[in-house]
Amino acid sequence: MRVKRHLQHAWAILLAIALIGAAALPAAAQDDPPVSTVNGTPITRSAFEGRVRFVRWQYLQELEKLHELTGGNLSLSGSYVMTLVFDLEHPADLAGAVLDQMEEELLLAEQAAALNITVTPEEISRRETAFFSLWTDVPANKLAANPVAQAFIADWYAAAFEASGLDRDAIREVFAAETLRSALYAYLAASVPTEELAVNTRHILCSFDPGNPGSLLPPTDEQRAAARACIADATARLDAGESFADVARDLSADEASAAQGGTVGWVTLSYLAASYANAARDAELNTVIGPVETEYGLHLIEVLDRRMQPLSDDEYQASQQGYFRLWIDTLRAQAAIERAGDWDAAVPDRPGLDSLDPVVQAAIENLASQAD
Beta strands, E only, 27-78: 34-38, 41-44
The model's pTM is 0.74
Q: Which of 292, 310, 328 is the last residue of a domain?
A: 310
The answer on 129 and 56 residing in a single domain is: yes
Q: Which of 291, 310, 329 is the last residue of a domain?
A: 310
Residue type, 348: P
Contact 63, 362 (CB under 8 A): no
How many C-beta atoms surround the C-beta of residue 175 within 10 A? 23
Task: CATH number of the domain at 252, please.
Answer: 3.10.50.40
Residues 286, 348: Cα–Cα separation, whole Å: 58
How many C-beta atoms surround the C-beta of residue 277 within 10 A? 20
pLDDT in tens, 281-308: 999 999 999 999 999 999 999 999 999 9
Angle 203-207-208 (CA atoms, 0-180°, nearest 5)? 150
Q: Of 268, 267, 233, nearest to 252 (Cα)?
A: 233
Q: For the chain, what percentages of helix, strand and coil (3-state, to nearest 5) are there? A: 60, 15, 25
Residues forming a β-bridge with 216: none
* Residue-number span of the structural domain to which 139 is assigned: 5-191+318-371
Q: Of 372, 353, 350, nearest to 362 (Cα)?
A: 353
Run of H or E including 168? helix 168-189
Listed as own residue / partner, the contacts of 150-153 with beta carbons closer than 8 Å and 24 or more positions apart are: none
Residues forming a β-bridge with 288: 302
The answer on 282 and 160 residing in a single domain is: no
Is the pLDDT assigned to residue 22 strictly greater than 60?
A: no
Contact 20, 127 (CB under 8 A): no
Angle between helices 147-164 and 121-136 (to 10 degrees): 100
The answer on 203 and 185 residing in a single domain is: no
User: pLDDT confidence of 258, banded at 50, 70, 90?
Assistant: very high
Residues 150, 156: Cα–Cα separation, whole Å: 10
Length, in residues, of the chain? 372
The answer on 209 and 273 residing in a single domain is: yes
pLDDT in tens, 38-90: 999 999 999 999 999 999 999 999 999 999 999 999 999 999 999 999 999 99
CA end-to-end distance (rounded Å), the chain: 17
Cβ within 8 Å of residue 218, ≥6 positions away: none
Is the pLDDT assigned to residue 14 strictly greater than 50?
A: no
Q: How many domains does the chain have?
A: 2
pLDDT in tens, 168-225: 999 999 899 999 999 999 999 999 999 999 999 999 999 999 988 887 788 999 999 9
The answer on 183 and 41 residing in a single domain is: yes
The answer on 216 and 154 residing in a single domain is: no
Residues 264, 285: Cα–Cα separation, whole Å: 15
The answer on 156 and 15 residing in a single domain is: yes
Tell me what pLDDT residue 168 has. 95
